[in-house]
Structure 1
């Protein structure tokens, strides 16, 4: 399969390394093109990663591409994805796939009408620990899931937001709820399944941005489980923590940007020593990451099958993002399925808007 990477910024390197690593798993793929609006950056990327061709135009290479990796800032995802799907090219897009549910619904429509398929990078779903936990829950070995916590406690200094598209609703889609915590609560959804209702708060506490810099939510799931979600860019000791309390055990994951089996802790409930041996590491398993997701994804592409993460999976997570913002900005409980066409939060994560002033107005007030 001939692969093109669109957008050769920082995250594109992880994609290039993963594509190169596919051959070790029996996947025949070659990184054939690198495309960027900055020709010099595309050239440098191509030289570093051994890409045969580089340039600034996507349309010129779609006819020579089987899989397109979209690694641009989020605001440019939709146009490239739809163009590729209409050309019969599979698409792997970085998260968040779109800035709104409305944009994702456009992609879903293009995906339904294409001979190719769409998927989004959600690499944490593909670590061995997550897959083992999901299997044990499916088998009933751990009983019902009851309580969970999901904390993305990261730190981004003020200079991080000097990049023009960061911290803005129109180009980044939101703050840590949209662009950072989504990594972890996507994993939460992968374990607990569909959510049913959410109530949330959000605030701009310390960063000079239009979006929030922290949010907190309480979520009820369709299976009855309840969870808390915290998304922060103000936490000096950075960590990503998830905890799942089931009837038979507590299963915990503590990491930062990726995990291996060593990052998981399994604690049987009192009197449930029978489950202690169920949790087993796999020394041969890949750590969570792009390669772990791309191996089964590319195998699905080659077989003409749906990828392991579909546009439906992506929508469930993005709908939770929109619901967190809607609850935080309106003060209402939001239920799954409520946000559809005609709702302001379907068109933009900003929706009806937070109670704080935009940065330009804030600057004027301070001036």
Structure 2
């Protein structure tokens, strides 16, 4: 039997995410009704997604349809009353973030949940990404040691017209600025990895937008484990980025993306600079990816057999990411970067080795032009020749 779903709110998030996601479940669910404070929007969404019934309000919908699940795609100010109404009607609730405008409202909703359901679930999908789930396993098993230092940044850009929506930019209806509406996803991901916090100091400011609330907020957080974290939430950052970085005793985890990381993000664990630590802990770090296959081309010593770490790296590097490169002793001292979960840009190249650059310039088909200086005989030496003369120094034993 299909699960009967009703959707409350037919704006952008409902049309862009909830309707398509429910439709992708096929016969497992059926959307039986929608409602919105704007009847024209509700009717338009029903026509677009083939929903049979449209109601003027939620109480009428609940009484007539008796849905199994109610999806709340409405502004934060509406969540408390709508969630309580659905729970009292026996429906389970899936609500958009933020859950409510205050902890008191959150506790009030919880009082209407049953011992065995129905319950309310909130949209915090980032904690269920593959990289986060695998990292939680490594933290639980102690593979990386204790978490020590972390960063959590949500640096997004919202133009002034973003705040023109009537319920945005007001304490009474939205409840907060980028901390409540934007950075809440990354902060939830961070909490799912590091646990509860014990101390917070924060500052916020309204620097550029016409709003009652902040447009930038920064915080320093101490977790119960002792780890320290800095958090930045902004709606003023033209180059948008979402980032969580955690430095453990034996490695650093970094997840960088924008609005999600289903293949467009970068996940990597750069391991520490000491060679023995690199060889000891690299295999566990590399296995963060779900697939383990041979890389198409392994660099340097890995192609010739090389060190145990190089051979392990050749076996375990994930498809979709460039194999790690060790360019020089200086690059090796900084630590190699190991790709995780195959996101684009998973591996950054280390500093270019001049010897390799010279070899690339002098291979067949690539010629450097000679520039003749006035009064000279034969002109200046080509760049490859100059590079060959300037051989890099090697460390003395």
Interval containing the TM-score (normalised by the shorter chain): 0.7 to 0.9
What's the CA shift for 1:275?
A: 2.8
CA distance in 1, matches of 2:4, 2:117: 16
**Residue 41 of structure 1: SS of its match in structure 2?**
helix
- In structure 2, the partner of 1:219 is 221
- In structure 2, the partner of 1:35 is 35
- In structure 2, the partner of 1:280 is 288
- In structure 2, the partner of 1:80 is 82
**Residue 59 of structure 1: SS of its match in structure 2?**
helix
CA distance in 2, matches of 1:22, 1:277: 37
Kindly indicate whether the alpha-carbon contact (under 8 Å) linking 2:135 and 2:288 is maintained by their aligned counterparts in 1.
Answer: no
- In structure 1, the partner of 2:245 is 243
What value does the CA root-mean-square deviation take over the aligned residues?
Answer: 1.5
4+ residue runs over 2 A deviation? 112-115, 260-263, 272-283
Q: Alpha-carbon deviations, 1:37-75, whole Å to 9, x = none?
A: 111111111122222222222112224200000001111
The answer to whether structure 1 residue 124 and structure 2 residue 132 are counterparts is no
Q: Alpha-carbon deviations, 1:81-116, whole Å to 9, x = none?
A: 001111111000000010111111111111246841
The answer to whether structure 1 residue 210 and structure 2 residue 212 are counterparts is yes
List runs of 5+ in structure 2 lacking aligned partners. Answer: 292-397
What's the CA shift for 1:250?
A: 0.7
- In structure 2, the partner of 1:309 is none
**Residue 88 of structure 1: SS of its match in structure 2?**
coil
Kindly indicate whether the alpha-carbon contact (under 8 Å) linking 1:85 and 1:114 is maintained by their aligned counterparts in 2.
Answer: no
Kindly indicate whether the alpha-carbon contact (under 8 Å) linking 1:129 and 1:260 is maintained by their aligned counterparts in 2.
Answer: no
- In structure 2, the partner of 1:287 is none
**Residue 60 of structure 1: SS of its match in structure 2?**
helix
CA distance in 1, matches of 2:201, 2:257: 26
Q: 1:101 aligns with which of 100, 103, 127?
A: 103
**Residue 79 of structure 1: SS of its match in structure 2?**
helix
- In structure 1, the partner of 2:20 is 17
CA distance in 1, matches of 2:87, 2:249: 44
CA distance in 2, matches of 1:99, 1:43: 29
Question: Which deviates more, 117-126 or 14-23?
Answer: 14-23
CA distance in 2, matches of 1:181, 1:100: 17
Q: How many residues align?
A: 280
CA distance in 2, matches of 1:273, 1:48: 56
- In structure 2, the partner of 1:317 is none
Distance 1:134 1:44, change over 3 A: same
Alignment of 1:1-367 (within 5 A): 1-13=3-15, 14-23=17-26, 28-63=28-63, 64-112=66-114, 115-260=117-262, 262-270=265-273, 271-278=277-284, 279-282=287-290
What's the CA shift for 1:277?
A: 2.7
CA distance in 2, matches of 1:256, 1:56: 36
What's the CA shift for 1:202?
A: 0.5
If asked which structure has higher relative contact order (CA below 8 Å, sep 6+), I would say 1
CA distance in 2, matches of 1:5, 1:263: 34
Q: Alpha-carbon deviations, 1:254-295, whole Å to 9, x = none?
A: 111001355211212232333323333236xxxxxxxxxxxx
CA distance in 1, matches of 2:23, 2:127: 21
TM-score for both structures, normalised by structure 2: 0.68
What's the CA shift for 1:174?
A: 0.8
**Residue 277 of structure 1: SS of its match in structure 2?**
helix
- In structure 2, the partner of 1:334 is none
- In structure 1, the partner of 2:389 is none
CA distance in 2, matches of 1:35, 1:275: 54
Kindly indicate whether the alpha-carbon contact (under 8 Å) linking 2:55 and 2:61 is maintained by their aligned counterparts in 1.
Answer: no
What's the CA shift for 1:76?
A: 0.7
- In structure 2, the partner of 1:345 is none
CA distance in 2, matches of 1:114, 1:6: 24
TM-score for both structures, normalised by structure 1: 0.73
